[in-house]
Amino acid sequence: EHHLKGNMENHTRVTEFILIGFKSHLGSQLLLSVLFSTMCIVTVVGNACMIHIIRMESKLHTPMYFFVENLSILDICYSSVFTPKAALTFSLGRRIISYNGCASQMFFFSLFGTTEAFFLAVMAYDRFTAICNPLLYGIIMNKRLCVFMVVGSYLSGCINCTIQTGFTFSLSFCGPKEINHFFCDVPAVMHASCSDTLVNEIVMLAVCGSIIVGTALLVFISCVYIIITIVQMPSAESRRKAFSTCSSHMLAVSLFFGAVFFMYAQPGAISSPDKSNTISILYTIVILVLNPFIYTFQNKEVKGSLKKQLERK
């Protein structure tokens, strides 16, 4: 038995994986490479500008912008987990990723993705308090609570990514080492394993499902209360003002949760990697690029500050 186990160990020790997502002809490889590189630069520059504007403008030192600033920092980290590697994969055909590299990519991708979901829920609560409880807003959303919510979001992300990465990499990988994706996402890596993945799928659905449903529900309930409150406002001007502070957040939220729901919260996410590949491009890149623009262009205060700083320059 011991000998057999030793044999199994030899057999299962995979030290690297090959990312075979979007392995089509050269033209589209170059196009994807340019796309990923551009998106990466735009995400970093856009979010860095957002952070700079918020830091420089004392008018924006409010709980809402404290969360937007933290969301921008998160998006920069998030995009740097996989876009540089993906760009290299498509331009130079470097499709090999080490076992540890794959595990750490999954760990950080899950960490930042989960944290983003909690951030959006926290920001929805912030808007809910501002619009439905304006008189107590300053007292409720104090500095301590804001910091606590940001740290709490990261801790929740940590718990989830530890569970996801731990469970996925406790599987054995013995056959072809190919991962049908352009980065080490949980369903794709699970699909490459030669163990029975039923328990993992249940864990993924339970944990990711409850996080997605929980945070989305919080966002949804906040939005419903906000809309009811806005509709009941006496003047058209106050309705317009209240709606404009929330519209950007609602847009960011719908994009994020819509895509995430398609990726993880439906059974069969593991069985149809091709479909999830396309959605994950939309989810990961497009949303990261759009966030700073959503919060800038939908927002008078940010636009005003941006103008002021450009004139100063």
Q: Say if CB 46 and CB 292 are below 8 A apart.
A: yes
Task: Let me know if residue 51 belongs to a domain.
Answer: yes
Per residue in 212-263, pLDDT tens? 889 989 988 998 898 898 888 888 888 887 787 777 778 888 888 877 777 6
Task: Let me know if residue 4 belongs to a domain.
Answer: no
pLDDT at 24: 65
Q: Whole-angstrom Cα distance, residue 139 to residue 151?
A: 20
Angle between helices 273-281 and 236-264 (to 10 degrees): 150
Provide the whole-model pTM. 0.85
Cα dist from 107 to 4, 142, 169, 270, 280, whole Å: 32, 32, 11, 18, 16
Q: Among the residues of the chain, which ranges form H helices?
A: 2-12, 26-56, 63-92, 99-132, 137-140, 143-168, 186-191, 198-231, 236-264, 273-281, 287-297, 300-312
Task: Pull the structure tokens for residue 165.
Answer: 């990465």
3-state secondary structure of 18: strand
Task: Count CA atoms closer than 13 A to 304's CA, side-chain side.
Answer: 7
Per residue in 116-141, pLDDT tens? 999 999 999 998 998 889 899 999 99
pLDDT at 141: 94
Task: Pull the structure tokens for residue 59.
Answer: 């008018």
Sign of the Cα pseudo-torsion (7, 9, 14, 15, in order): negative
Q: Whole-angstrom Cα distance, residue 59 to residue 151?
A: 24
Cα dist from 122 to 157, 223, 228, whole Å: 14, 12, 20
Q: Whole-angstrom Cα distance, residue 99 to residue 87?
A: 19
Task: Count CA atoms closer than 13 A to 307's CA, side-chain side.
Answer: 7
Task: Let me know if residue 45 belongs to a domain.
Answer: yes
Per residue in 155-214, pLDDT tens? 999 999 999 999 999 988 886 688 888 888 888 898 888 888 888 888 888 898 899 889
**What is the CATH classification number for the domain harbouring 55?**
1.20.1070.10
Cα dist from 61 to 52, 115, 207, 280, whole Å: 12, 22, 35, 34
Task: Let me know if residue 112 belongs to a domain.
Answer: yes
Amino acid at 20: I
- Residue 17: phi and psi, rounded to 5, are -125, 160
Query: With 0-12 CB in 10 A as exposed, 13-18 as middle and 19+ as buried, what is 19?
Result: buried
Query: How is residue 271 annotated by DSSP?
Result: T
Cα 244 from chain centroid (whole Å):
24
Place of tokens 């409010």: 62
Cα dist from 94 to 101, 104, 146, 161, 281, whole Å: 13, 18, 42, 26, 19
Task: Let me know if residue 56 belongs to a domain.
Answer: yes
pLDDT at 9: 45
Task: State the pLDDT confidence band at 112, using cuts at 50, 70 and 90.
Answer: very high
Q: Which domain holds residue 96?
A: 16-267+276-293
Task: Let me know if residue 5 belongs to a domain.
Answer: no
Per residue in 1-55, pLDDT tens? 444 444 444 445 688 898 887 776 666 778 888 888 888 898 899 899 889 888 9
Task: Let me know if residue 98 belongs to a domain.
Answer: yes
Q: How many domains does the chain have?
A: 1
Task: Let me know if residue 309 belongs to a domain.
Answer: no
